[in-house]
Amino acid sequence: MRALVTGADGFVGRVLCRHLVRSGWEVRAGVMHDAREPSGEFQCDITGADKVDALVEWAGPVDVVFHLAAVTFVPESIQDPRRAMRVNVEGTMNLVQACRARLPESRFLFVSTSEVYGPPVDLPIREEHPLNPKTPYAISKAAADSYCAYVFESTGYDIVRLRPFNHSGPGQPDQFVLSSFARQLARAEAGAADPVLRVGNLEARRDFLHVDDVVCAYELAARKGGAGEVYNIASGHAVLIRDALDTLLRMARVKVTVEPAPDRLRPVEVREVAGSSERLTAATGWTPQHPLEVLLADILNFWRVQEGVFAP
């Protein structure tokens, strides 16, 4: 199998590329920043149609296009909604059009997000739940998600849409909640920061997944998913963020004080989210393999290495 991965230099993109290579795929990587390996990477601004067409031409015949390139950090989308729309909507349109023209026999895997659902009408959230996005990030992803559905319905081009719920793991930037907690703890353990952990809303409940489980779901959906289908990727369980923090605090080697930080609060916050992945499991056999405690330990140990608590 041969794949083109956009956003291959992002957190999940890097994990996906490693997973695919280990699984026997040949991977062509579309990256946002300077390409480090010219034979296997191609730098591309996905908002430029000509550049995207050049990326697809460079990749050559592939079986699956995994489209991960996106603005993914919600506060960034709030600060610069125009860029979020250009990258997430226009970039997706550019790539779909280029792939339809140059790779008509390929499968296109679009990575959407559970945030397109907005405040849940009922739990767990299933794929039939209405889309009600509440942030520029979610709005842009909902628009791109809907565009992909339109392309499949109007042309028959093989597109599969995926809606992963919250996922984290080693290497995730510390703007995201679990990685933020873990890095602050690692810095305190290393003596690089005061033993104070600044937090946002701890009363929200989220459906957390290990990134390794998520990329496994991406591959299985690429191999076994139905054309035109949309699949949630979720654990099915809502975890109180305060409980996740308490688990990390029990793993910590120093005592820290937890302080609220108003700048870490979102203007619009969904209280509880949990998804159903029954459709994905039925189609592919996928189930998550990593419990929350393993996820948290992996993130904390990653940041311990980065901060010099452990030797690499």
Locate 30 and state its tokens: 């579309």
CA–CA gap between residue 225 and residue 209 (Å, rounded): 20
DSSP-derived letter for residue 24 is: T
pLDDT in tens, 93-137: 999 999 999 999 999 999 999 999 999 999 999 999 999 999 999
Domain ranges of the chain: 2-168+208-233, 177-205+237-273+290-306
Predicted pLDDT of residue 95: 98
pLDDT band at residue 268, thresholds of 50, 70 and 90?
A: low
Distance of alpha carbon 197 from alpha carbon 119, whole angstroms:
28
Q: Which pair of tokens denotes residue 254? A: 């120093």
Per-residue model confidence as pLDDT tens digits over 23-48: 999 999 999 876 555 557 999 999 99
Could you tell me the pLDDT band of residue 309, with boundaries at 50, 70 and 90? confident
Question: In the predicted model, what is the mean pLDDT of residues 82-101?
Answer: 98
pLDDT classification of 10: cutoffs 50, 70, 90 = very high
Mean pLDDT computed over every residue of the chain = 94
Q: Give the Å distances, CA to CA, from 272 to 122, 125, 138, 238, 253.
A: 10, 11, 16, 7, 30
Fold of 177-205+237-273+290-306: UDP-galactose 4-epimerase; domain 1 (3.90.25)
Task: Please give the angle made by the CA atoms of 199, 178 and 182, to the nearest 5 degrees.
Answer: 85
Dump pLDDT digits (tens) for 183-200. Answer: 999 999 999 999 999 999
Euclidean distance between the first and the last CA atom of the chain, given in angstroms as a whole number: 33
> What is the arrangement of strands in the sheet containing 64-67, beginning at the earlier edge strand?
41-43, 26-31, 2-6, 64-67, 107-111, 159-164, 230-233
With 0-12 / 13-18 / 19 or more C-beta atoms within 10 angstroms meaning exposed / middle / buried, residue 104 is exposed
Note the pLDDT of residue 40: 75
- Per-residue confidence (pLDDT) for residue 17, from 0 to 100: 97
Give the pLDDT of residue 38. Answer: 52
**pLDDT 10s digits, 201-253:** 999 999 999 999 999 999 999 999 999 999 999 999 999 999 999 999 999 99
What fold, for 2-168+208-233? Answer: Rossmann fold (3.40.50)
